[in-house]
């Protein structure tokens, strides 16, 4: 019992630092110290997540297929040691966030508190991005790229993904926690997270958040949630002022300028063109070796165009072969099916079901157009979605 409480504390500590990846300790980000702590305590507490079968058989199948694909490709790659090292990151993330996290977030109170730590990390990173744009962060932050801020993250796209996810989490908290003073804090956290998102100038993350909010609106219409639409109107106004007021801090490469420049598909007209070229190169390499892949070492992950493949499924296919591709698709589809069933199992969907779907939407869209694969925030978000399945039965009771 006491060990499980320590596991929960470690998770909350890691969640509060999930956006801090620019600073590293012993070669890894700060949050990994906490997640490693959760894994160690979990081992000594008797592997509770496995005993209670929090990992469904479909997720096991997907994990095993991806594991076999990456293992075989790593053995036959040019850099076996680094490929196998990257594979351990995948194994670690799967067990920590698919087995341990759902077993720890076993009540709505715990789930809400964990979401608060995640929300805090988004606001903190947004404030960091704003401070970076105005004064700089020095060694505390990443390196601003062509006017795009990183905050405390290593790359602008990582800042965008992190803050977009936190915006959804903050919207969920607003409707799951009815206390006025808490709602004021959630709203302020949303504003700062949105500022970080705008300063990252990540088109994918911005579009992912917009689409997820539209999904939420559809289900809130079904629930006839008038309070949501009042908040929705306020969010639109705040978003307008944030975009127009803070985008200019990105100089000539702000979010508005980047959206306009994606009209042309040519490689020299923006990132969209170069990504299309990278997709074609990756598909060509897959055609040459669809079974084994090229291996997932840091060096092999970079394509002939000089860029990573900005699609988690295509990247898995190129690096780990067909088994890894099928395994990853299996994991995402099985989670989507479970969310879809929870949304329509009752006439009125629960708050947890609606916002877990929004969370999954932001993540799915982001990883479909981004290079994120071994980043902890990807697997932590999936773990949060999975955990919501086990607390949705208590969805409508007040939060303490």
Residue 399 falls inside a structural domain:
no
Q: One digit per residue, pLDDT tens: the chain, 400 residues?
A: 555 677 888 999 999 999 998 877 766 788 998 999 888 887 777 665 555 556 678 888 999 999 999 999 888 877 888 888 888 989 999 989 988 888 888 888 899 999 999 999 999 999 998 888 888 877 677 777 777 888 899 888 899 999 999 999 999 998 888 888 998 999 999 999 998 998 888 888 999 999 999 998 888 887 877 778 777 778 788 877 776 666 666 555 555 565 555 544 444 445 666 778 888 888 888 888 888 888 887 788 888 887 888 899 999 999 889 999 999 999 999 999 988 888 877 666 688 888 999 999 999 999 998 877 778 999 999 999 998 887 765 544 444 4
| Residue-wise pLDDT tens digits, 303-339 | 888 788 889 999 999 988 999 999 999 999 999 998 8
Residue 125 lies in a domain: yes
Domain extent at residue 157:
2-394
Q: How far apart are CA 103 and CA 44, in angstroms?
A: 15
Structural domain includes residue 194:
yes
Q: Residue 398 has what pLDDT? A: 41
53 and 171 in contact (C-beta within 8 Å)? no
Position 365 in a domain:
yes
Which ranges constitute the DSSP H helices of the chain?
2-16, 30-44, 48-51, 57-75, 80-94, 101-104, 108-134, 156-176, 180-200, 203-223, 226-246, 255-261, 271-288, 298-301, 312-344, 351-368, 376-391
pLDDT tens digits, one per residue of 68-112: 999 998 888 778 888 888 889 899 999 899 888 888 888 888 999
Angle, helices 203-223 vs 156-176, to 10°: value is 20
In a domain, 400, yes or no: no
* Domain total of the chain: 1
Q: Give pLDDT, residue 276.
A: 81
User: Which pLDDT belongs to residue 266?
Assistant: 45
User: Shortest CA distance to 28 belongs to which of 39, 17, 12?
Assistant: 17
Nearest alpha-carbon partner for 386 in 52, 160, 30, 70: 52
Pair of tokens at residue 260: 């306009």
């Amino acid at each position: 019992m006491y060990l499980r409480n320590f596991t929960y504390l470690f998770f909350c500590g890691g969640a509060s630092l999930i956006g801090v990846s620019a600073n590293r300790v012993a070669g890894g980000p700060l949050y990994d110290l906490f997640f490693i702590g959760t894994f160690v305590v979990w081992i000594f507490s008797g592997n509770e997540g496995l005993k209670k079968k929090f990992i469904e058989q479909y997720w096991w199948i997907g994990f095993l297929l991806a594991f076999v694909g990456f293992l075989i490709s790593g053995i036959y790659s040019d850099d076996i040691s680094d490929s196998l090292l990257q594979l351990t990151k995948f194994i670690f993330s799967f067990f920590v966030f698919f087995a341990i996290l759902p077993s720890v977030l076993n009540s709505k109170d715990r789930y809400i508190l964990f979401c608060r730590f995640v929300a805090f990390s988004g606001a903190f990173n947004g404030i960091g991005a704003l401070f970076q744009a105005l004064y700089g962060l020095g060694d505390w932050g990443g390196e601003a790229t062509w006017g795009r801020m990183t905050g405390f993250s290593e790359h602008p796209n990582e800042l965008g993904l992190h803050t977009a996810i936190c915006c959804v989490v903050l919207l969920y908290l607003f409707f799951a926690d009815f206390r006025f003073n808490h709602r004021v804090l959630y709203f302020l956290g949303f504003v700062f997270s949105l500022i970080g998102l705008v300063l990252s100038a990540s088109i994918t993350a911005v579009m992912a958040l917009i689409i997820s909010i539209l999904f939420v609106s559809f289900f809130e219409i079904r629930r006839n949630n008038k309070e949501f639409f009042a908040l929705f109107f306020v969010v639109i106004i705040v978003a307008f002022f944030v975009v127009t007021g803070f985008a200019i801090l990105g100089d000539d490469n702000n979010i508005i300028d980047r959206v306009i420049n994606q009209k042309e598909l040519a490689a020299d007209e923006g990132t969209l063109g170069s990504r299309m070229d990278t997709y074609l190169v990756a598909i060509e390499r897959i055609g040459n070796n669809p079974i084994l892949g090229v291996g997932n070492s840091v060096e092999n992950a970079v394509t002939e165009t000089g860029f990573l493949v900005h699609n988690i499924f295509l990247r898995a296919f190129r690096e780990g072969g067909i088994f890894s591709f099928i395994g990853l698709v299996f994991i995402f589809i099985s989670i989507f099916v479970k969310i879809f069933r929870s949304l329509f199992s009752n006439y009125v969907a629960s708050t947890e079901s609606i916002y877990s779907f929004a969370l999954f939407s932001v993540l799915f869209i982001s990883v479909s157009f981004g290079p994120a694969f071994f980043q902890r925030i990807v697997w932590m978000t999936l773990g949060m979605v999975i955990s919501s399945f086990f607390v949705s039965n208590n969805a409508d009771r007040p939060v303490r």
